Amino acid sequence: MDFKILGPIEVRAAHGKPIALGRRKQRVLLAALLLNVGRAIPSQRMLDWLWGERPPATAESNLYTYISALRRVLGAPSRIEAGSNGYVLRAAPGEIDVTRFEELAEQGRRALAEGRNDVALERLTRALGLWRGEAVLEGLPLPASLRGEAARLERLRASVVDAALEARLALGQHAEVLADLEALTRRDPLNERLRTQLMLALYRCGRRAEALAVYQEARETLAAELGVDPGPDLNRMHQRILADDPALAPPRTAATRRIFAPAELPIDSAAFTGRAAEITRLRAALTSAGPVAVHTITGAAGIGKSALAVHVAHQVAGGFPDGRLYVNLHGATPDARPLNPAGALARLLRSLGDDAAVPADVDEAAARFRSLTDGKHLLLLLDNARDAAQVRPLLPASPTCRVLITARRTLTSLDAVAHLRLGAMAEDEMLALLGRLVGEERVTAEPWAARAIARLCGGLPLAIGIAAARLIARPGLPLRVLADRLAVEDHRLSELQADDRAVRACFMVSYRGLDAEDSRMFRLLGLLGGADISVTAAAALAGRPEEQTAVLLDRLADVQLLEAREADRYRMHDLLRLFARERAEQEDGEDDRAQAARRARLLRNP
């Protein structure tokens, strides 16, 4: 949820939709809670804020009504807790614009004091960008006690404006900042700090006489309005300009590091279809200010993990102004070696503008990456991860960053991670995807064949994409012909390959990672058909004890070559079953296959 008070009060749900806050007193009450977030407010103080010295007889019941209404519109009773000391609004720091503003302001001023002017300007600009008006809770009448906190924030905003101007001048942006300084000075003619900065900007632009005229105008205005002379800073700037102090020359910052936001996400698929529930969940997770910053998408080969991750990342990209980083870790890429953490860190550091030599030590490189990402609003997409060990050094430590990981394995050893397991697409979604890829007219012309193709691709977007590529390559090929070819089980995997994509090759990456016992069990399971597999049946098929068989089945499920169902039951995807049968024919002897086939028949027909 997103609470905004730097301007008119506004609350938005996780999906970005504005929430109607109700009547004026209800909005004043929410404003009071937001200005005191995390602190208990006694009921009597709330009554004073809402009605002053003459509350109506129904004030207490009205207060409870307002609290109940706010709980309802905020979607959770726990948002506003009632205790012995009063009411408390609970919100994560990143959910309130004030908290983000103060954090960025502090980071910017600290960077300015340290001479890191480019970082300072970036942080201060982002802080000011959170303001949607000139006043806190603009347009909402507040009691005097609350106006004090609002006034403090408005003074802080003015100091941030001043610091941002100072950073821009230090970066040699005197020409660019001149118009802003002139407008601000007209608005606040008694502000000597603005006058001093305006004089410096004019002088650096070669307008010395105008800079001196600003001083004379300031002297006359201060005398007329306040009866005082200019202060020491303004006087000092006047004297330095008169003396043409060389130190006032523009800074030599031609080589100043350029601040940029990397935008490395792969192109989104124009034909992306379905996954509405998963998209909603991931969008909410990546844009909320909750405690979980790392999210994984796991699932079988070809199930569409990467496509979903890229699609969602593009949708939320606007919430990450500091950049969107992408690394393909090649954990399950055919004919490619997984990228080691050192290589991945080198890419990430270069993407963030760090051109220094990457430390050979992975821990040192990871520490530098965490330093560069600290406090930044970055989205990192780690695609196709092999395991947790490959990913762990690549994770930022800052709560302002979000990480989205795709992997076949469930990365259970990573701490504080939210896991999303991606299953097969529904047949209707597969049919819709086929229509988007080959054209709705072809699907409409042969609806039966189109649905058969969608069904035989088994809910794998990779498979339907390959089938579509075959049809696109031959515009005159009837869909019926391809459906008939796919219907032949012994030929189906061979039909599902086009150019550099093949379902068989994707399965092979996972299969090659198995040890001898695991791969034997996998090949045997291909003989059982598409029914659920029990531990007892698998043990009888393999001639192994049930305890050992359960371990083997779990390991196959871990690498997505088997789907774990309810207790002690598993299921193998149809295309994986065909692949397992192929491997058995190529790797097992004829006698072994015959004995296994007899055991399988006995299991099917006891």
Is the four-CA dihedral 427, 428, 429, 434 of positive or negative sign?
positive
**CA-closest candidate to residue 208, choices 172, 243, 168:** 243
**36 touches 84 (CB < 8 A):** no
Residue 290 pLDDT class (50, 70, 90 cuts): low
Would the pTM of this model clear 0.75, i.e. be above it?
Answer: no
* pLDDT top residue among 563 and 306: 306
**373 touches 318 (CB < 8 A):** no
* Of the ranges 94-98, 199-203, 523-527, 565-569, the best mean pLDDT one: 199-203
Q: What is the mean pLDDT of residues 314-327?
A: 89
pLDDT at 395 over 90: yes
Q: What is the mean pLDDT of residues 445-471?
A: 93
- Position 241 scores a pLDDT of 93
Mean pLDDT (the chain) is: 87
The least confident of 424-428, 530-534, 591-595 is 530-534
* pLDDT top residue among 382 and 564: 382
Q: From the CB of residue 358, how many other CB atoms can be counted at a distance below 10 Å?
A: 20
Is the four-CA dihedral 299, 300, 303, 309 of positive or negative sign?
positive
Between CA 352 and CA 491 the distance in angstroms is 48
Residue 132 pLDDT class (50, 70, 90 cuts): confident
* Domains 1-161 and 172-251 are alike in CATH topology: no
Count of residues in the chain = 606
**Which whole-number Å values give the CA distances from 391 to 15, 361, 395, 424, 458, in the listed order?**
28, 16, 7, 25, 30
3-state class (DSSP) for residue 289: coil
- Position 392 scores a pLDDT of 93
Q: Please, what CATH class does the domain formed by 276-421 belong to?
A: alpha beta
pLDDT at 109 over 80: yes
* Topology (CATH) of 513-604: Arc Repressor Mutant, subunit A (1.10.10)
Residue 93 pLDDT class (50, 70, 90 cuts): low
Q: What is the mean pLDDT of residues 529-553?
A: 83
pLDDT at 254 over 80: no
Query: How large is the angle between the packed helices 546-558 and 535-542, nearest 10 degrees?
Result: 110
* pLDDT top residue among 16 and 478: 478
- Position 91 scores a pLDDT of 80
**Which whole-number Å values give the CA distances from 189 to 195, 220, 224, 296, in the listed order?**
8, 11, 12, 55
Residue 604 pLDDT class (50, 70, 90 cuts): low
Give 10's Cβ-side CA count (13 Å radius): 15
Between CA 240 and CA 200 the distance in angstroms is 10
pLDDT at 258 over 60: no
Between CA 119 and CA 259 the distance in angstroms is 8
- Position 548 scores a pLDDT of 92
pLDDT at 444 over 90: yes
Residue 422 pLDDT class (50, 70, 90 cuts): very high
The least confident of 103-112, 134-143, 450-459 is 134-143
Between CA 9 and CA 2 the distance in angstroms is 11
Domain ranges of the chain: 1-161, 172-251, 276-421, 427-499, 513-604
Q: Give 3-state DSSP helix, strand, coil % of the chain, rounded to 5.
A: 55, 10, 35
- Position 15 scores a pLDDT of 60
Express each pLDDT in 189-230 by its tens digit.
999 999 999 999 999 999 999 999 999 999 999 999 999 999
**554 touches 561 (CB < 8 A):** no
Q: Please, what CATH class does the domain formed by 1-161 belong to?
A: mainly alpha
The DSSP secondary-structure symbol of 305 reads: H
Contacts of 63 (CB under 8 A, 6+ apart): 29, 43, 46, 47, 50
Is the four-CA dihedral 582, 587, 590, 595 of positive or negative sign?
negative
Per-residue tokens: 378: 């970055």
- Position 213 scores a pLDDT of 94
Query: How large is the angle between the packed helices 590-604 and 535-542, nearest 10 degrees?
Result: 150
Per-residue tokens: 53: 């010295």
CATH of domain 172-251: 1.25.40.10
**Which whole-number Å values give the CA distances from 354 to 124, 128, 170, 346, 391, in the listed order?**
22, 27, 22, 9, 20
Between CA 542 and CA 539 the distance in angstroms is 5
pLDDT at 86 over 80: yes
Classify strands 294-298 and 402-407 as parallel, antiparallel or unpaired: parallel
